[in-house]
Amino acid sequence: MQKLNEYVAGLSDENIEGITTKKSNPSYDAAYDCPKHEFGNANAECKWKAADPENHDEKDCPSNAFVTDDGGQIVQEKFRDVYNRLQSALEAIYSSSKTASEKSAEAFALFKQYMYYYNDDPGVMNSSTGYLIAPEGVKDPNGFYQSFLDLAHDVYDFGSENGMIVGNAFTEDGKLGYAFSDYGVHLIMVSMTPFTGETNNAELALSSDDQMIAFMKSTVINIKGQTIFDKIVASSKSDKKTLAYSEFTSSVVPQNLMDDGNVVVKNKKKIDNIYKTYVKDED
């Protein structure tokens, strides 16, 4: 949510009513160059509206990073209103007659939708797995605020007690958990639980390479569905290509084109094509 340093000294349930947030424009395109909305020129014509006057509204112009009102001003929503909507929607999912896996998937999809609309934490938006939280009793290696860690543990524990960890964001019946830090207010949902069930929370005891490979192939580590084995294979292929390309390039580039370690290659496309022809089949 929005960084609000003025609340740092005393964020609490009492003053949460004053926190506001902005909803991202789902049509936003950083490359779209509208002279009116990208550069804030009120006298210019909206490129989006001009392209289709009958069906396009200026509020939806891809140059607007956030939802605006009819006057072009960014709409500020109360955090409490957004929170209440999400809490109600999640409660409806959790209390439905669907299976646990269906509830988990539906709740997670909804939470991600809200995250795309209202979140302004670039760290979690650039991660396929979310933040990895150390179990209680284990030292946090990431430097997260204690309030953030406590919320994560509370969400995990409540989900565990109620038979649905992944997709849970509640800390008690009917309550969407939240916490405060210097960055503002945080909401957390469990997106995945790596290794849960595979080892029964015990130390790995794999006695052979075959057992290790089987474990790596069966353990999903991110929301894309990749296993440990998939990640290792992908990383190995990438490293092999990089090494092969470097060796091939250095072997065909004359020494006199080297300048302080920077290689000047006039026929880069030709080299790329040769590389693809002779190296690609080795993957």
The pLDDT of residue 237 is: 84
Checking DSSP bridges between strand 179-181 and strand 184-186, what pairing results, if any?
antiparallel
Residue 37's nearest CA partner among 56, 65, 70 is 65
Averaged pLDDT for residues 84-95: 96
Q: Which of 3-7, 8-12, 161-165 has the lowest mean pLDDT?
A: 3-7
State the DSSP code for 76. E
Alpha helices by DSSP H, listed for the chain, are 47-51, 79-94, 100-118, 122-125, 146-161, 209-218, 228-252, 268-279
Cα 1 to Cα 115: distance, rounded to the nearest angstrom: 9
State the DSSP code for 271. H
The pLDDT of residue 201 is: 42
Q: How many CB atoms lie within 10 A of CB 16?
A: 16
The pLDDT of residue 191 is: 87
Spans of all domains in the chain: 24-74, 79-186, 209-282
The percent of residues in the chain predicted with pLDDT above 90, rounded, is 37
The pLDDT of residue 199 is: 43
The pLDDT of residue 278 is: 60
Checking DSSP bridges between strand 76-78 and strand 170-172, what pairing results, if any?
unpaired
Q: Which of 10-19, 41-50, 148-157 has the lowest mean pLDDT?
A: 10-19
Q: Which of 11-15, 111-115, 187-191, 254-258 has the lowest mean pLDDT?
A: 254-258
Q: Is the pTM of this model over 0.95?
A: no
Cα 283 to Cα 195: distance, rounded to the nearest angstrom: 29
How many CA atoms, within 13 angstroms, populate the side-chain half-sphere of residue 84? 7
Alpha helices by DSSP H, listed for 61-99, are 79-94
